[in-house]
Amino acid sequence: MKVILKKSLRNLGKMGDVKQVKDGYARNYLLPRGIAEPATEGAVSAWKSAQEKRKKKFEQENKALQLVADKISQVTLSFSRAVSPEGVMFGSVAKSDILKALKAADVQIDKEMIVLPASIKAVGAFEIEIILNVDITAKVKVNVTAQNS
């Protein structure tokens, strides 16, 4: 099934792209969530006619996201976790912890934007990637220290 993307998806394409996807993926995921619409002749011509308006809106959103990315790059998050005498950390630093700390630093993002394959389970300094848009990413510094007992 051919669809027009209404939103950019990291693994599929950018907003406005016409993509060939499997029927089930379109019917069960893309269409119900409003991420895409069927690429009929009328829909394609409507998208082309409104392209300039969308381009201006897209540029404004990118400017705003770039400001957020700059703000994120300047933030250093610190976490303190209990550590055993052998140096094994009790607990971990997960996406939800990073999200709460960023909200406390007045940065509003979605949990899905944080790229963290597994929770941080070691003491040290880490850089976590945050994907704000298909083209805009930022890295936040995370320091995990041993908690004094």
pLDDT tens by residue, 97-117 = 999 999 998 888 888 889 998
Look over the chain and give the mean of its residue pLDDT values, rounded to a whole number.
Answer: 89
Is there a shared CATH topology between the 2-49 domain and the 68-146 domain?
A: no
- What superfamily in CATH does domain 68-146 come from? Ribosomal protein L9, C-terminal domain (3.10.430.100)
Domain definitions of the chain by residue range: 2-49, 68-146
pLDDT tens by residue, 76-93 = 999 999 988 887 888 899
Report domain 2-49's class: alpha beta
pLDDT tens by residue, 120-136 = 998 999 999 998 887 88
**Whether 101 contacts 116, CB under 8 Å:** no
Full-model pTM: 0.69
